[in-house]
Structure 1
């Protein structure tokens, strides 16, 4: 089969199309003929040598795919209501940049009605991540206020729409007026240009001094101190990436007085059972929103898989709004 491999750690041009053996299906797994593969920030980190795949996972990049089930564990498929020939999208720990990919049955979801393969491939990584962190870990409730750092990223556009659909108030940050407008068009109640405004001060103003209930942070570093300052009593800060650095200094006194919780997670190394539980929640609570059009995929660009390097160049410019997807002939 054809696959996009990392020939050496480095710049986007180290990605190259290569021939690889077909992956072998194990117990509890399916083989998917891949029609489209989502591109995500962890793929860029893996390519640069900063984010190795978990032990036992494919060395190929790619954490989400959409396609058709070719074969698999018959009993596991039957238990999940799946069959050979079904269109699915799946979260995987690696190997998504390939014509064929193995995925645990529990991490597969049916392609939402009316969705094409590109739209379906854009869903798993961001929807699993947002659900797990914003709704499971940070326990965002209807009527609460969520601050999203990076509202036009793949994670951001998903978090804006899900939070609004489930009854929360949303404040998003972005790095340009154009991106702020995109956040508002997606449903955010307010958007803050972090390059020209102090997001912490503006968030406090927008909440009449109360502060926000939950912050979804992909930056960390120096942002943590300002996020602690703009959290309401019993507020929750959930860190899911460290693009601004791993070290932070903040006012611990505010954490005590306001009873704040600072948490974080990475999804890729978690066990299949954990991810399968997220998939079950998504199918029950989020897939109907997608099929009703209340939450929509946001696709910025589509590249043929042979042009994966160009997709990574775009990802690293941070100019995209929404998802970048690769397609396979």
Structure 2
């Protein structure tokens, strides 16, 4: 099969494109002929070696999200049939720990991730445990764009916190995969959404997406603008998916008294550790939630909204699998808006 893979860590140029053996299908696995795969920030982190403790061997195929058609099922698989159209669920889980039994597979004590611990979706074929595919009637591009990013945003805004009508929410990284979904979900739930971007073309697109107030962080003081917009009170919720980028200390200053922060990322290196002043937390009675992906039930709930036309995946571009290096350059340089999709057909 054709695949995009790495044999060493580094920038986009370390990604190779070529032939690799077809994956094996164990008794509990499903073999999927991949039609589309999306490019995630986590793919870039794996590529640079941020998760080298989890990558078991080279060559390693990148890619978390995928959609396609089931080509073969293992002898123990009963709930999935050959020929079915499926999308991926990215969290590999054991179905036996206390979290899995309570429907929180994303907190599994044996947690692994497609494209990190096992070979991923940048390939014509992928073999995954049967619990990591879901039947879908979404188009291949739609389905590939609506997995880890959608799951993360939906779980964060509906399970870790409960947004209510009229709340003011600041969303960092609004032009990314998670951010574009988070904006739409927040608006659907009746919130007032504020975000920031560093380029005018992204500001325009964020307004088109429905954002109520967009700040150009290269030209304006984000905290000052937020305070003016909220009448000096601050936001009910700050949604911070880029905390390792130095936004956390800014986020704390934008939360209103008694407000909430939700943090989706902490980086992978010791240099990503951030110092914050805890005094502001107890003086202003701020609550902080950490969050990680979501359950399979969450993904089913969220994709139902796409099927019903209430939200939509924002697709920056569709590129051929052999153009994967260019896709990762766009990812690294922040030149995308929404999801980049790789056509693997």
| Same fold at TM > 0.5 | yes
Measure, in 2, the Cα distance between the counterparts of 1:264 and 1:171: 21
How many angstroms does 1:139 deviate by? 3.4
Query: In the alignment, which of 76, 85, 88 is matched to residue 86 of structure 2?
Result: 88
Query: In the alignment, which of 249, 262, 276 is matched to residue 225 of structure 1?
Result: 249
3-state DSSP of counterpart to 2:70: strand
Give 1:130-169 correspondences, 5 Å limit: 130-169=153-192
Cα shift readout 1:262-306 (whole Å, capped 9, x = no counterpart): 333454xxxxxxx5xx2212323x223212222111111111111
What's the TM-score, normalizing by structure 2? 0.82
Q: Which runs of 5+ in 1 are unaligned?
A: 268-274
3-state DSSP of counterpart to 1:88: strand
Q: Which runs of 5+ in 2 are unaligned?
A: 91-113
Q: Where does residue 236 of structure 2 map in the other structure?
A: 213
- Any conservation in 2 of the 1:30–1:71 contact (CA below 8 Å)? yes
Query: In the alignment, which of 127, 130, 136 is matched to residue 102 of structure 1?
Result: 127
Give 1:6-85 correspondences, 5 Å limit: 6-26=6-26, 28-52=28-52, 54=54, 59-73=60-74, 77-78=78-79, 82-85=80-83
What's the TM-score, normalizing by structure 1? 0.86
Comparing 47-56 with 143-152, greater Cα deviation is found at: 47-56
How many angstroms does 1:77 deviate by? 4.8
3-state DSSP of counterpart to 2:273: coil
3-state DSSP of counterpart to 1:325: strand
- 1:53–1:247 Cα change, 3 Å: closer
3-state DSSP of counterpart to 1:192: strand
Measure, in 2, the Cα distance between the counterparts of 1:167 and 1:74: 47
- Any conservation in 2 of the 1:30–1:105 contact (CA below 8 Å)? yes
CA RMSD of aligned residues (A): 2.5
Q: Where does residue 172 of structure 1 map in the other structure?
A: 195
- Any conservation in 1 of the 2:151–2:298 contact (CA below 8 Å)? no
3-state DSSP of counterpart to 2:190: coil
Q: Where does residue 111 of structure 1 map in the other structure?
A: 136
Cα shift readout 1:171-226 (whole Å, capped 9, x = no counterpart): 11111222111111111111111111222222222222222122221322532222
Q: Where does residue 235 of structure 1 map in the other structure?
A: 259
Query: In the alignment, which of 274, 281, 305 is matched to residue 298 of structure 2?
Result: 281
